Amino acid sequence: EAEVAQSPRYKITEKSQAVAFWCDPISGHATLYWYRQILGQGPELLVQFQDESVVDDSQLPKDRFSAERLKGVDSTLKIQPAELGDSAMYLCASSSRGRFSGGYTFGSGTRLTVV
Amino acid sequence: AQTVTQSQPEMSVQEAETVTLSCTYDTSESDYYLFWYKQPPSRQMILVIRQEAYKQQNATENRFSVNFQKAAKSFSLKISDSQLGDAAMYFCAYRSAVSEKLVFGKGTKLTVNP
């Protein structure tokens, strides 16, 4: 069964350092999402891509977060500089284009700890 | 903006019994999708069941079924014959047919007691 790949699974970084997460969606899925999930809460959308274009980044803290999906396939989410409050699980998901017939497929996530 | 509310932070059920998790949502759209996701301690988000707003019939997947009340904007999940493996966080989610944005509730932690 096709999966959304994310790496790394775990990341510990010091405050003020830069950190990056990678996501490879299911082949052919045009829409890619990055979510942040604080422990005990629901996922919050950070950015949504349609192919290589950003569709929604209204909740992305743009002073420190950036996201790209250069060729419309895999994507990178970067934080610079990291802050203690960024400690969370970062989830990537993908879905197919067009009349929605399926669900979203989520990756296993990257758990970030900022110390 | 659409919002999803899960009013039960925690629920518990005895093994083999039935439990219902509540979800309400707020939207001005007529075409949308609703989901229940399960997130076990391993943290992988797993789709449990989905409902398309234009379908009046409630979705069912084995032991999982929903009660979709469009006018009331309510979407509850019923788990029958609860099993120990059902213990997890359950998230209700709304997807706009226009923006394709998926919005989650804050979740309900389900405990299954043997």
Q: Is the pLDDT of residue A90 over 80?
A: yes
Q: Is the pLDDT of residue A61 over 60?
A: yes
B48 and B77 Cβ atoms separated by less than 8 Å: yes
Q: Tens of pLDDT along A18-34?
A: 999 999 999 988 899 99
Q: Which of A81-90, B26-35, B36-45, B80-89 has the lowest mean pLDDT?
A: B36-45
**Closest to A106 in 3D by CA, of B33, B46, B101:** B46
**Neighbour tally for B59: CB within 10 Å:** 19
The residue in chain B having the minimum alpha-carbon distance to the alpha carbon of residue A41 is B106
Q: Tens of pLDDT along B48-57?
A: 999 999 888 9
- Min distance B10 CA to chain A CA atoms (Å): 11
Q: Is the pLDDT of residue A82 over 90?
A: yes
Distance of CA A64 to the CA centre of its chain: 14
Average pLDDT over every residue of A80-106: 85
Per-residue pLDDT, B56? 86
Average pLDDT over every residue of B83-106: 91
Q: Is the pLDDT of residue B7 over 80?
A: yes
The residue to which tokens 């084995």 are assigned: B62
Q: Is the pLDDT of residue A99 over 70?
A: no
Average pLDDT over every residue of A86-110: 83
Chain A 42-61, residues with CB within 8 Å of chain B CB atoms: 42-45, 48, 50, 55-56
Q: What is the DSSP string of A2-61?
A: ---EEE-SEEEE-TT--EEEEEE--TT--EEEEEEE-TTS--EEEEEEETTEEEE-TTS-
